[in-house]
Structure 1
């Protein structure tokens, strides 16, 4: 619920989000991660925008009807479903714009390592 989310934000920033007072604590800390959440279209849970946690929820969410074993992982953003965690990882990365594989020469990012390798071989060799 929203109160829990507020508390989580306050815990991360050091602010008292319930009183509305800025304690300035976030200014004294280094490298506070940006807190970004996405909502599951099935159950409405707010989830951290982190690939592995989202994949876990795609498998664990109890709300959607799973017609057969190909519905082991159901995307919380669209109609995509699969029985393979690796396929869901690739899909979720595309959905949230996560590109963890970065070309060390030009900085272009990719959702899967093989695409980065192909890019490197075509553009930089």
Structure 2
């Protein structure tokens, strides 16, 4: 079991799921689990291997004219372009707030409907977002990866640690909040 130490220095990184964290950590570990069968070159993400493979077949990958990022399909490029154009084609019928992506609108609609489709099998508490359930479940499982460097107390959620840190109010202790080491098991 690998253990990663993530150093946060006034930088907030959010991952929607564990797989996103694993992919991000490959930047730091150098892991490249996807290999080209033609030339042996390794890649950290499957999509990057697909783009590379187009070079062997003579097919040109599609590139974003604004940032140069490359894509396998025209539809993926078009969706990406919304970052640059600011296009938000999906609109909430209740409050008229607009979104670039359909899944973001779907998640937003739960504010209005009160829908909580992600339910804890242990206590029955419902959550609007899958990430909320994942974080909640860690509390039941005794996972406490967020550690206070001042007093050693451990927490299941980063927000609980942040709240706790306000108890260390003198300047000497509070300054430690800017440098948090988080141990995450993968």
Does TM, normalized by the shorter one, top 0.5?
no
Structure number having the greater strand percentage: 2
Per chain length, whose mean CA-contact separation is higher, i.e. which structure has more relative contact order (CA < 8 Å, sep 6+)? 2
Task: Provide TM-score, normalisation by structure 2.
Answer: 0.29
